[in-house]
Amino acid sequence: MDMIVVMKAGAIDDDVNRVVDRVAELGLVPHPSRGEFRTIIGAIGERTPEAQQQLEQLPGVDEVMAISQPYKLASREFHEADTILDIAGIRVGGPHVNIIAGPCAIESREILFEVGRAVKDAGASILRGGAFKPRSSPYSFKGRGKEGLEILQEAGRELEMPTITEVVDPRDVGVVNEYADMFQIGARNMQNFNLLLEVGKTDKPVFIKRGLSATITELLMSAEYVLSQGNHRVILCERGIRTFGNETRFTLDVSAVPVLQERCHLPVFIDPSHAAGKRDLVPALALAGIAAGASGAIVEVHSCPERALCDGPQAVLPNNFAKLMEQIKQIAEIVGHRVTPWGREDTQPRRAAAGGWGG
């Protein structure tokens, strides 16, 4: 059974370091988390009564408790406050609402730049575009690979927007890490544990989509794989699950947003595009997710969806995306969140890396 060591308010660094060292000596893996008022140290591994008693006697320790959830580092027990990530100067999580937008796949430089400019002007803060596309059919377009990554990096630099793209193979983690600002783990790879371990060894944010038939606990356990490797920059995404209905591509589980937020401290996004499968339904689902308290949404936008090589029917036109962004701002304000220009606290773009749990 894993534990968390709760330090007393105002515990000094020497006390914290002493506990971290003792946790390691006991054969457990320490994971310190510093909050505004207290520091909590996760002790992951097999707990013994003697270990708990020894830790309780160390200077600065308030109490030692067992973690009841199977996901340790993702749980609210370990980290009570919302995690807020800094991604190239953009605050993600907590009261901040950010919209990730762009085409499903990177088809050409012209389309990515055209759509990128449109979504940025409308208020999106992160640019999406798939270079590697896992498809249900072996005959479908599977992306442009490294060439697509190069185009995505160029667009991100020119537009001054962080970028996100899907990684589908552990062997591609290195090249994606070189070109993109965020990893996306798609629904069909949510339980590709070797892939999760690889992205967990990097310092880039990891955006994990819920699998088609995955439970909320299974999604959180996938996040745990990444967190266990030392990468604490994880975002969860509800993208729709399979149910009895066939009126939409999938069923967007809006209730997953507050449930996830109750159980874990990580930012929670929604994917209305994949859930709907039809562009006319995307705005309603996006607004429902923001109203439920989501930290953002990932939306597919295309300037000529009838010619799109991937998921054209669910891609929103740029002018309709601009209208949706105005509605999102209104809903976010109603639920006490906010959408700032490009998701930033200020209007001066900056590209600074940041890590840690956030605050």
Best CATH choice for the domain 85-343 from the list 3.40.50.620, 3.20.20.70, 1.10.760.10, 3.40.50.1370 = 3.20.20.70
* Common-topology check for domains 3-66 and 85-343: no
pLDDT score, position 135: 53
Residues in the chain, pLDDT under 50: 342-343, 346-359
User: Which pLDDT does position 132 carry in this prediction?
Assistant: 86
What SS3 state is found at 324? helix
326-329-334-336 Cα dihedral, nearest 10 degrees = 180
List Cα–Cα distances, 319 to 112, 122, 203, 284, 325, in angstroms: 16, 9, 35, 16, 10
Alpha helices in the chain (DSSP H): 13-25, 49-56, 109-122, 145-159, 173-179, 193-200, 216-228, 256-263, 272-276, 282-291, 318-334
- Give per-residue pLDDT as tens, 22-31: 999 999 999 9
Q: Over the chain, what is the mean pLDDT?
A: 90
pLDDT of residue 344: 56
Q: Which pLDDT score, from 0 to 100, does residue 355 have? A: 39
164, β-bridge pairs = 128, 182
pLDDT, position 346: 46
In this structure, are strands 163-166 and 182-185 parallel, antiparallel, or unpaired? parallel
For residue 203, the one-letter residue type is D
* Per-residue pLDDT tens digits for 110-129: 999 999 999 999 999 999 99
- Judge whether 119 and 127 are in contact, CB under 8 Å: yes
Q: Are 266 and 94 in contact (CB under 8 A)?
A: no
Topology at the third CATH level for domain 3-66: Alpha-Beta Plaits (3.30.70)
pLDDT of res. 142: 57
List the chain domain ranges.
3-66, 85-343
pLDDT of the residue at 312: 86
What CA–CA distance (Å, rounded) separates 33 from 21? 15
CB half-sphere exposure, 11, CA atoms < 13 A? 26
